[in-house]
Amino acid sequence: MNNHNRYIFTLYSSTNMHNMLENAVNLSNNLFSGQLADLNLLDYRYTPDDAIAELGLDLDLVNHLVEDYVVQIVKSNMTFLGYIKDLESTRNMNYTPLRELAHKNLGVARNLRIYDAQILLEKIMKEDDLDIIFLYLEGLFACATILRPQHAFNTLKLIKIKYSF
């Protein structure tokens, strides 16, 4: 996993929202045109139209729910990374907490019809190779950041403040 750390931690160390968005776009393009090209997500762009039509929700509510989803993914990503670290450092390969968190986030992504997140979370739930899971997590974090960059940046900033005390 260590050879991949630099990408996701570039996002974590972004000093402003524009820098974070640029890093997320670069990461997303690199992953989805390279190691994760088989997922066919390079040209995917979220639109709330499916969620509005299928769920009967208005645009403002869907946008608010998407913002909440981005906050949830940023927070969950920190937890996912902790699970991976635990799995790497122990012989007890219990993937259950990681898979449960992926399943929880998958439900929200499905409800909002965020298809890139659905694909990545489904892959996380089924994969056993930690290096591959890490790539999916990088993609998930990048996609969430691109979806609502200001919310991703503000959430990450709050997490950093919380853990600095």
The mean predicted confidence, pLDDT, of the chain is 90
Nearest to 114 by CA among 51, 67, 64, 156: 51
Nearest to 7 by CA among 32, 44, 38: 32
Q: Kindly state the tokens that stand for 162.
A: 């919380």
Per-residue pLDDT averaged across 33-40, rounded?
96
pLDDT band at residue 15, thresholds of 50, 70 and 90?
confident
Q: Over 70: is that where the pLDDT of 153 sits?
A: yes
Amino acid at 99: R
Contact present, 19 and 106 (Cβ < 8 Å): no
User: Residue 145: its pLDDT value, please?
Assistant: 95
Q: Which domain holds residue 12?
A: 5-164
Q: What is the DSSP string of 99-149?
A: HHHHHHHHHHHHHHT-HHHHHHHHHHHH---HHHHHHHHHHHHHHHHHHSH
Q: Over 90: is that where the pLDDT of 51 sits?
A: yes
For the chain, how many structural domains are there in total? 1
121-to-13, 59, 65, 117, 163 alpha-carbon distances in Å: 24, 25, 18, 6, 26
CA–CA separation, 94 and 87 (whole Å): 7
User: Residue 165: its pLDDT value, please?
Assistant: 66
Q: Over 90: is that where the pLDDT of 93 sits?
A: no
Q: Over 80: is that where the pLDDT of 135 sits?
A: yes
User: Residue 66: its pLDDT value, please?
Assistant: 97
Cβ atoms within 10 Å of 120's Cβ, excluding its own: 30
Q: Kindly state the tokens that stand for 33.
A: 């045109």
Per-residue pLDDT averaged across 93-117, rounded?
95
